[in-house]
Amino acid sequence: MPSGTSEQNAIPPRRSKRLESTSKPQMAPHTVEKREARRKKEPKKSNKSRTLAKKKKKEEKTEDAYIERILDERGGDVGDEPKATKNGRKSKRKKVPHQYLCSWVDGAEPQWVDASYLEGTPALEEWEDAEDEEEETHDPPDLVESKCAELCEWLKTAKRPTFLLGAGISAPVLATFRGKAGLWTKNAHENPLAEVTASTAQPTKAHRALAVLERNGYVNWVATQNYDDLSARSGFPTSKLSELHGNIFTETCSKCARVYHRDYEVPLDDSVDHETGRRCDDDKCGGDLRDNIIHFEESLPWHELKMSNCKFVGSDLSIVLGSSLKVEPAASLPFKSKRRSRSLNAKAVIINLQATPSDDAADLIIRATCDEVMDSVAKALVGESWDR
């Protein structure tokens, strides 16, 4: 999809320079006289005004081309340190102009565009707001196996185990935000799941394993930062689930607080104050329905956050599944019991492919996918055929 309006992203296409004759034809005398008369009447233009005029004229003459998104960036010094020449002087580095590789709405081949043409466009703003991709690390299979075995022993003795879910648990079916080619990174265009919606996604093996472990007494509470509804659709009981960032299929009446769970995504792109454009079915109410998705700088739902705080403070084993732990207050939940009560001898486990700001506070870190770890744990605690 194009970023912003077509007018904002209108960029003149690059054109090959026409060859010009090195010799200029002789002007007729009357032409020279007319030019001299015009120069006397018109004020002399500065170099800056001439440049702007030429740029404007060029833009008017060329056809408009519309940018879809920025794919890459280059510019500045190229190559290693300057090398010394025979006379002892250092050679100058080769420089290239600051440019962006752009894809086009009409499907034309991506091409490099000078940065000056992109100033003030939504495409450039989106690129500058995007995050650099963080490196992912995978533990060797033998190490993953030994760590999963240790986690299983902790789950066997834990009385109140809790789980915090991040986008990583849904990574096999939905694009993450900060993971490899995440939606908030500069490489989002490389993600094959970028256009997949929650409506078509199905619970992952890690979701199903969590539901099976709960039925066998190994899960006391789950708090999820995901709004994809995959936890509930996997069969995990909503009575033990806190959806901290909302649910994309749920809308609530602003007057009577009645909750509607739909089979389609309820938020609108142009919504004002979370309104979905529908009204309460109750004839006596008729209140506006609003989605419950939590955006940045908005407060988390009071009841969901209160229940999560209570459960994690009293937990003796907190497990993070696929979260970067960068968004508060959810990021602090797995470590509340360790900081509040030493008598619990509480432990915290992080299962994530990327480093997190809370790695130093964890008792165990497993660099593997959520599916891989939860499948191993479910097989050890429930049986090899747990997913049949």
More confident call, 195 vs 241? 241
Mean predicted confidence (pLDDT) in 161-182: 86
Q: Write out the binding residues.
A: 253, 256, 280, 285
Mean predicted confidence (pLDDT) in 209-214: 96
Mean pLDDT of the chain: 80
- CA distances to 55, 67, 72, 100, 119 from 113, rounded to whole Å, are 15, 10, 11, 5, 11
Query: Is the pLDDT confidence value at 319 over 90?
Result: yes
Q: Write out the binding residues for Zn(2+).
A: 253, 256, 280, 285
pLDDT the model gives residue 124: 85
Q: Over pLDDT 90: what percentage of the chain? A: 42
Query: Is the pLDDT confidence value at 194 over 90?
Result: no
Mean predicted confidence (pLDDT) in 3-7: 43
Q: Which of 357, 369, 293 is nearest to 328 (CA)?
A: 357
| Per-residue pLDDT tens digits for 8-23 | 444 444 333 333 333 3
Predicted confidence band at 348 (pLDDT cuts at 50, 70, 90)?
very high
Q: How many CA atoms lie within 13 A of 206 on its CB side?
A: 25
More confident call, 194 vs 45? 194
pLDDT the model gives residue 53: 56
Predicted confidence band at 56 (pLDDT cuts at 50, 70, 90)?
low
pLDDT-wise least confident of 81-85, 292-296, 312-316: 81-85
What's the one-letter identity of residue 71? L
Predicted confidence band at 95 (pLDDT cuts at 50, 70, 90)?
low
Query: Is the pLDDT confidence value at 306 over 80?
Result: yes
Given 30, 98, 138, 245, the catalytic residue: 245
| Per-residue pLDDT tens digits for 58-81 | 444 333 468 888 888 888 553 445
Return d(Cα 303, Cα 345) in angstroms, integer.
27
Instruction: For the chain, state the CA radius of gyration.
Output: 30
Return d(Cα 123, Cα 5) in angstroms, integer.
10
**Highest mean predicted confidence (pLDDT) among 84-98, 169-183, 201-215, 334-348:** 201-215
Cβ 152 vs Cβ 109: under 8 Å: no
What's the one-letter identity of residue 322? G
More confident call, 70 vs 241? 241
Cβ 338 vs Cβ 249: under 8 Å: no
Return d(Cα 361, Cα 332) in angstroms, integer.
11
| Per-residue pLDDT tens digits for 366-379 | 999 999 999 999 99
Return d(Cα 95, Cα 93) in angstroms, integer.
6
- pTM score: 0.71
Annotation marks residue 189 as catalytic: no
Cβ 133 vs Cβ 180: under 8 Å: yes
Residue 293 CB partners (closer than 8 Å, separation 6+): 227, 245, 246, 247, 248, 267, 274
pLDDT the model gives residue 223: 96
More confident call, 345 vs 134? 345
- The secondary structure of the chain, three-state, reads CCCCCCCCCEECCCCCCCCCCCCCCCCCHHHHHHHHHHHHHCCCCCHHHHHHHHHHHHHHHCCCEEEEEEEEEEEEEECCCCCECCCCCECCCEEEEEEEEEEECCCCCCEEEEHHHHCCCHHHHHHHHCECCCCCCCCCHHHHHHHHHHHHHHHHHCCCEEEEECHHHHCCCCCCCCCCCCCCECCHHHCCCCCCCCCCCCCCHHHHHHHHHHHCCCCCEEEECCCCCHHHHCCCCHHHEEECCCCCCEEEECCCCCEEECCCCCCCCCCCCCEEEEECCCCCCCCEEEECCCCCCCCCCHHHHHHHHHHHHCCCEEEEECCCCCCCCHHHHHHHHHHHCHHHCCEEEEECCCCCCCHHHCCEEECCCHHHHHHHHHHHHCCCCCCC
In the sheet with 259-261, reading across from the earlier edge strand, the strands are 259-261, 250-253, 288-291, 275-279
* Domains assigned to the chain: 97-129 (no CATH), 141-248+298-382 (3.40.50.1220), 250-292 (no CATH)
Predicted confidence band at 242 (pLDDT cuts at 50, 70, 90)?
very high
- CA distances to 125, 256, 272 from 269, rounded to whole Å, are 19, 25, 9
Predicted confidence band at 256 (pLDDT cuts at 50, 70, 90)?
very high
Q: Is 236 exposed, middle or buried (0-12, 13-18, 19+ CB in 10 A)?
A: buried
pLDDT the model gives residue 37: 57
pLDDT-wise least confident of 2-6, 144-148, 228-232, 296-300: 2-6
